[in-house]
Structure 1
């Protein structure tokens, strides 16, 4: 893997950016210059100050330090990404394995349910679910997971259909191994690579979707330092205080770009046809 990262510069850039962002998320309480500004603290005498040595990213309309809030926003965005991806995989992967391995009417029912969910754009479906459940970060994560799981079901179903025809699976069947044991011991491990690649690329997209929902007022609520919410509030001051919108937007851009680079690199590394070139 180390050699592959040396030869794939974009994947290396993605890994470096992700490591930096993870460090920001983990060390936010230590790095933040004004941690008291993250939530309730206000300093109206310092509102909308431009970037300076005292406030690296400037201040917002409440005089709060944007650098500190963006750091804690990194932690929130990564939590949303991890939980939403995990929920999507926990729902989608077992259903895809069952559909691909057993086939027949089970496959037909699961795939038709997937088609119903996929008939709606994922963002529109997430908006509808959050509107039904109520705006909050937890409901937003549930909504994203419910709009994302069919992609993992379809992906791992196609892998399971291919793997179940291989010789080692047929040998396990001839020895009387139970179907669910075959799925867990043979089909699932050999179908996992595309899921890993897809999850790494979806991570950035889910963070972008979460920011979009917060921007629309359906996700994080003030004073939570979530990037999309910061942009939503900051757009009212964009003409006079460009940093309020630009800096959280740059963090979203870097995060999405980093995970796309990582996903492309993982796809190349896990594909033996490409890796052996």
Structure 2
């Protein structure tokens, strides 16, 4: 009985550990969605009297800067909260755009084969000839900084993974008996794609979307760190980290705390993606 009880505790503990990524991501979503409504912050406004205050210090207005202030007297906690909203918005937008493009192209190429599949293969080869981050930097740097430009630059290569996954699914499903039966019955190709093949891509696409979301958030932070991402009127973790790099010895919290927030998000999304991939793999084996 003792061994059984210990086994049950391990199972329950494992389930709770498996839920940690969901809890962390929910906290980020809540912070990004509700936080800006509770915290008043203007990224352009400066307060030189409050500059470089440590975490937990009191600012001139009487409020507490729980995460300290930066070199211009701006609240770091507010930048972390607003940066979470920015990362979620850009991450979701980029993944949705990439998913729509990649799934549409991949499923058509995999089902019809022929010239659509050849065009997809050649297009992917051309895009892969350039490093993804280099192509993203070129696109983002060629236009005025904005959210739309960042999403477009990140989507320029992110759709390739979705196209590859859905193409593989379409290639395997098109040879199954129920697809042949649908063709014999005169079902239109569009109906076959939408009603029979597309639902089978949901599992792998969702698992891939979580991993792509993490990569997109990290890439957006990198662009903002380099100064070619979002405009100064927007708040990004990358911008905050870049603003604090010259104060690493005296005001470490400016770069460290947004960096920790970014790392926690990326790590938990990665764990969640691995869980979804493993779950899809077990379901596929069944």
**Structure 2: how far apart are the matches of 1:6 and 1:108?**
49
CA contact (8 A) 2:158 2:212 kept: no
Shift of 1:9: 5.2
The alignment yields a C-alpha RMSD, in angstroms, of 1.9
CA contact (8 A) 1:57 1:247 kept: yes
Alignment partner of 2:143 out of 124, 133, 144: 133
Q: Which residue number corresponds to residue 211 of structure 1?
A: 221
Residues 242 and 83 of structure 1: is their aligned pair in 2 closer, same or farther, counting only changes over 3 Å?
same
Shift of 1:177: 0.2
Q: Which residue number corresponds to residue 38 of structure 1?
A: 42
**Structure 2: how far apart are the matches of 1:94 and 1:5?**
40
Q: 1:9-28, aligned counterparts within 5 Å?
A: 11-28=18-35
**Structure 1: how far apart are the matches of 2:12 and 2:227?**
39
Shift of 1:167: 1.7
Which segments of structure 1 move beyond 3 Å, counting only runs of 4 or more?
A: 4-11, 273-276
Q: Which residue number corresponds to residue 50 of structure 1?
A: 54
Runs of 5+ unmatched residues, structure 2: 1-10, 58-63
Shift of 1:134: 3.1
**Is 2:97 the counterpart of 1:107?**
no
TM-score, reference length from structure 1: 0.92
**Is 2:178 the counterpart of 1:168?**
yes
TM-score, reference length from structure 2: 0.89
How many residues get paired?
Answer: 270
Q: Which residue number corresponds to residue 187 of structure 2?
A: 177
Shift of 1:135: 2.7
Q: 1:187-266, aligned counterparts within 5 Å?
A: 187-266=197-276
* Range 132-141 or range 162-171, more displaced: 132-141
Larger radius of gyration: 2
CA contact (8 A) 2:86 2:236 kept: yes
Q: Which residue number corresponds to residue 186 of structure 1?
A: 196
**Structure 2: how far apart are the matches of 1:179 and 1:273?**
27
Runs of 5+ unmatched residues, structure 1: none
Shift of 1:85: 0.6
CA contact (8 A) 2:44 2:232 kept: no
**Structure 1: how far apart are the matches of 2:220 and 2:152?**
11
Shift of 1:267: 1.3
CA contact (8 A) 1:15 1:262 kept: yes
**Is 2:72 the counterpart of 1:62?**
yes
